[in-house]
Chains A and B, each alone.
Chain A
Amino acid sequence: MRSKVLIVDDLELNREMLSAILENDYPILEADSGKKAIAMIQKYQEEIAVVLLDLIMPEVDGFMVLEVMRNQSWLKTIPVLVITAESKAEVESKCFEMGVSDFIKKPFDNAIVRNRVKNIVDLFLYKNNLEEKVEKQTETLKKQYKLLVMQAERLKESNVRIIDILGTVVECRNLESGEHIKRVKSFTRILAEQMMNDYPEYGLNQEKIEVIVSASALHDIGKIAIPDNILLKPARLTKDEYEYMKSHTTRGCEVLDNVEGVWDETYSKISYEICRHHHERYDGKGYPDGLAGEEIPISAQLVGLADAYDALVSERVYKSAYSEDEAFHMIVSGECGVFSPKLLECFRRVKKKFEDLNHELKKKQEEFR
């Protein structure tokens, strides 16, 4: 508890006069030089409630004491009241500039000294308590914030893990090769980054792209609900079979509905969009909902194109692989899917990147075999 009053004056008579005023209310410390004053403040930092300071002293004067108190940040918690016979106005303003709380000119009135000291002591007691409280609360808030960041990080990890687990389910059933999922993810990333760059109106950013890329692994999750005789049929599907096949989009959404609530909203929303809408067409003739133009979520548009491209350049049970050039022209000409002009523009710009990636991945695949 701060309660002590430090009286700094080189003249004993002056210290006694001040002490007489205050000794009934506060324990008094005295210093007869600036040097001793500094040593005492250092020693009793937590106990001094106020310093009564004389300005004109030999060697270390009142201004030097103030300077030290300011540099040591003592002035933040210990107020200084200057008492002097100095009548020059510039001395008073210099004192206030240096951070003193009050300035009393001699001759002083005992009652006024007593009241001003009381006011300053009470004010600083209140201020110090308040600051201590704020500091504690800030500390608590910081801790809580850290915890929140950690939890958000964990949540994000678990979101990614859920997607990976679901993605593995698709792979395990050997519907598409694991490579298809990896390639779709990579093509999606290339397209999305180009899109972010060229068309800011889609509001893409690195964070959203991570979610889209990650969720693209689930685009065909609905296929786990399609019977093998349709899914793996090494020939053209009948009309009914094809209709059934198309339901993998809505069936995928049903699968995702079951994980709803377990993962983050952003992840579930984007995964849902991709599952349901990656076979929509820009002209409205796609499925399952016949969405047209920008009604189709950008996530689904990106994955739709990446999926179509990969299907073309890959070998499937029912077809052999097209060359990269053929695949490129089929998509750009609208022969395979109908995409937004902006998306197609991006696709043209990343043609080379797609091809490089395709080479690289195919090479790896062959090495693996």
Chain B
Amino acid sequence: MTLRECYEKLGGDYEGTLGRLSSEKLVQKFVMKFLADDSFALLEESMAAGNYNEAFRAAHTLKGVSLNLGFTRLYENSNELTEALRGGEKPENEALLGKVKEEYQRTIDIIQELQNG
């Protein structure tokens, strides 16, 4: 699997990301690093603990990273959750976390596929 194929599978913005980060090597490097990023784990934990301020920050972080890496769907889902959590509010729509989780898992799986060649 190539990096481009990985992005196609993700529904991500490969051309845009390559243009912004200027080299395929860099994009690949940071996509791989995303595997080790624990923003989502922090998001899940803080949601479970009812700490919505921390959940907001984690969702915001996840949103920023996925935005910068061109993970369009993950960005959209995490953005929705971020806005729902703004001000430390408990989200009215409880399905939002599930949507983020589903897309996060899918993303990780596809990147791992890329990693395994």
A residues near B (Cβ < 8 Å) are 10-14, 16-17, 20, 56-58, 84-86, 106-111
Contacts and interface: CB of A to CB of B under 8 A. Distances in A.
Determine the main DSSP class of B at the interface with A. helix
A107 B20 contact: yes
A110 B68 CA distance: 10
7 contacts: A11-B61, A14-B65, A14-B68, A16-B33, A56-B56, A58-B54, A84-B64
A86 to B, nearest CB: 8
Main secondary structure of the interface of A (DSSP, over half): loop
Contacts of B64: 11, 14, 84-85, 106
Nearest to A109: B20
Interface in B59-78: 60-61, 63-65, 67-70
B57 A57 contact: yes
B20 A108 contact: yes
B3 to A, nearest CB: 16
B41 to A, nearest CB: 13
B76 to A, nearest CB: 13
Interface string B16-43: 1101111000100110011001010000
A48 B69 CA distance: 28
Interface in B5-21: 16-17, 19-21
B9 to A, nearest CB: 20
Contacts of B68: 14, 17, 85, 106-108
From B17, B29, B67, residue with most partner A Cβ within 10 Å: B67
Contacts of B37: 11-13
A309 to B, nearest CB: 88
The interface centre, meaning the residue of B29, B64, B65, B68 with most chain A CB atoms within 10 A of its CB, is: B64
Contact of B60 (A12, A16, A56, A111): A56
B84 to A, nearest CB: 15
Contacts of B21: 17, 110
Contact of A10 (B20, B30, B61, B70): B61
